[in-house]
Amino acid sequence: MIHTLRCSPCVDHPRLAMFDSLLRKGIGINCNLDLTDIQWLQASLPVKDGGLGVRRISLLASSAFLASASATDTLQQQLLFRSSIAGTTDASVSMVRDVWSTAYATDCPTGPPATKRSTWDRVATASERKAMTSSLSDATDKARLLSVASPHSSDWLHALPLSGCGLRLDDHAIHIAVGLRLRANICEPHQCPCKRTAWSVVQRGQRGITT
C-alpha cells in the first residue's frame, strides 16, 4: 500500500476511506472493542504520540507521494534530460502540494528534508493530534493522552511477543490494555450476588467479573 501511495497521486480517492474503514473494523475485531470516531483517530496516531501506530492511509497519501516525488526529482530530470518535457513541473505533484499546503496551512518543505516522508507526516500528525486534543473537554481524557504519549509508556507495543521471556500478552490483556489506552468501553455494569452493582470486563462475548 505504501508503494502505491508513493507512486500514485491518489489523495482524496474514495477507496482510501474504504481501506481505512477496514483497518478500523480490524482493530475492533482483534481487540474486541467498538471504537468511536475520536478513539479511532487516536488509534491511528503514531505510537510515540499516544496511538497504536495503525496509520490511516488517507492521512499518509499526500506525505508518501510528495516525499517520493522530492526524492526522485533529480533522477527524473536526468532521465528526461533530452526530452521536450525536461524541466517542466509535474501537474500531479503541484496538485498534491497545493492540497497538502491548504490542508495544514503551511508552506511545503523544501530541500533534503522534503525527501523524507517523516518530514511531511510530522506536520500532518501534529495537526491530527491538535484536533483531537481540542475535541477533548474532559481533563481526565487530556491527562490520559499526555500519559500514554510520555516516554516508555508505550514500550509494550514495541516488545516482541516472546512467550519464553514472558512478553506475550494474551487476548484478555490486549483487550484491556488497548481499551485503557483509548478509553474504550471495556466494562459493563452487572448485578453482584451481594445485591450491589459491580462491573464486568467483556471479552469476546464472555463476562469475567472483576473486583
Using alpha carbons, select from 11, 102, 128, 113 the residue that is nearest to residue 60.
Answer: 11
CB-CB contact of 28 with 174 (8 Å): no
Q: Tell me, what's the pLDDT at 26? A: 94
Residue 83: the pLDDT is: 73
Q: State residue 135's pLDDT score.
A: 87
Q: Collect the ranges in the chain with pLDDT lower than 50.
A: 203-211
Query: Which residue in 35, 30, 90 sits closest to 66, CA to CA?
Result: 90
pLDDT at 43: 94
CB atoms within 10 A of CB 140: 9
